Every structure is written in structure tokens, then in C-alpha cells.
Amino acid sequence: MPASGNLNPNTPAPRNHLIERRIRLAGTLVAAGLVVQLVSFLWIHPLAFMAFLLIGLPLVALGILVYLLTILKASPPAP
């Protein structure tokens, strides 16, 4: 039996479900940030630079932060 207690491995336990939701959120944020970064390369213009700096980078950083917090909280407590 899995440690989380659920019998069917395809059915996530509530805790795992929460982790997966957060990973989904992190993935969405990082992907959105990377898309903004890619789009900002279409123009050589100060606004494109600012879009990269003020939208693209913060979205990626936020996504990474969500992911790191998620795995930090998901790790089992030390014995």
C-alpha cells in the first residue's frame, strides 16, 4: 500500500492532489513567463526589454518559487 494510504495509484490522495495542483500552477507560471520572454525577442525595442524584465522574468521566478515551496512542503519530516 502506498505511504499516502490510497489504494489505487491512479487516484491521488488529497495531499498528492494538492501537490499536483501546485505543480500545475508552477508549470503554468513558468511556461507563461517563458512565452513572454520568447515574444519579447520579436522586437528590438525598450518596451520589449521591459516586457522581458517586468513580466517574463517575474513570472518564471514566481513559478520556480511555487515549485520549490511545493517540494519543500512535500518532503517528509525528518525523523
Supply the minimum distance, in Å, between the C-beta of residue 4 and another protein: 10
What three-state secondary structure class fits 44? coil
Q: Kindly tell me which of 38 and 73 has the beta carbon lying closer to another protein.
A: 38
Does residue number 44 form part of the binding site for another protein (CB under 8 A)? yes
Say if CB 27 and CB 63 are below 8 A apart: yes
Q: What is the spatial distance between Cα 59 and Cα 61, in angstroms, rounded to a whole number? A: 5
Strand ranges, E, within the chain: none
**What's the grid cell of residue 56?**
517574463
Out of 33, 77, 78, 79, which residue is the one contacting another protein (CB under 8 A)? 33
For the CB of residue 14, give the shortest distance to another protein in the complex, in Å. 14
Query: Does residue number 18 form part of the binding site for another protein (CB under 8 A)?
Result: no
Least Cα distance to 36 among 60, 56, 53 occurs for: 56
Binding site for another protein (CB under 8 A): 9, 12, 16, 19-21, 23-28, 30-31, 33-35, 37-38, 40-41, 44-47, 49-50, 52-53, 56-57, 60-61, 63-64, 67-68, 71
